[in-house]
Amino acid sequence: MRRTDREITDLHEITQIIDNCNVLRLGLNGEDFPYVVPMHFGYEYTGGTFVFYLHGAKEGKKLTLLARDPRVCVEMDCGMELISGGDTACEWGASYASVIGFGKGEILTDVPEKIKGLKLLMKHQTGRDFEITERMASAVEVIGVRLSSFTAKARKKQ
């Protein structure tokens, strides 16, 4: 990371950033170009790593690309606010917090794991617990993304 003065390494702070994000951008290896898709998510920190759960239709481009190459990148950001600085462009900036991670994604087939992922997704997005049935879980695909590495950084408003 080039801006080490903005790097965040404290796991509690990183989790707070993720908790404040509603959308995760999933980067996949596309056919001719990278493919990035914004998605709602849920997550857990388990076994020393972050695992993100995403859901969507049972067919489509992201599933095709993921089946071909499971390597993914995720990006989340929050707290974006313009910081006015003066009369020249170089005096302006923005406050923000972000997390970028790399890992492997997989289309989950285990129904209890799909249900767990969907429950975490709904809890993260709404703050509420929902009952997810096997029928509901079977109606969608659930992608699990296990990060092997990640970085976080923030620029706080002064």
Q: Is 18 helix (H, G, I), strand (E, B) or coil?
A: helix
CA nearest neighbour of 97 among 52, 148, 154? 154
Enumerate the β-bridge partners of residue 83: 93
Query: Quick one: residue 89, left, alpha or beta (phi over 0 = left, psi -120 to 50 = alpha)?
Result: alpha
Is 117 strand, coil or helix? helix
Residue 83: its pLDDT value, please?
A: 77
Per-residue confidence at 5, pLDDT binned at 50, 70, 90? low
* 85-118 pLDDT, tens digit each: 778 887 777 778 999 999 999 999 999 999 999 9
Q: Does the 1-83+91-108 domain belong in CATH 2.30.110.10?
A: yes
Rounded alpha-carbon distances, angstroms, from residue 152 to 21, 121, 140: 13, 21, 31
Say whether pTM exceeds 0.85.
yes
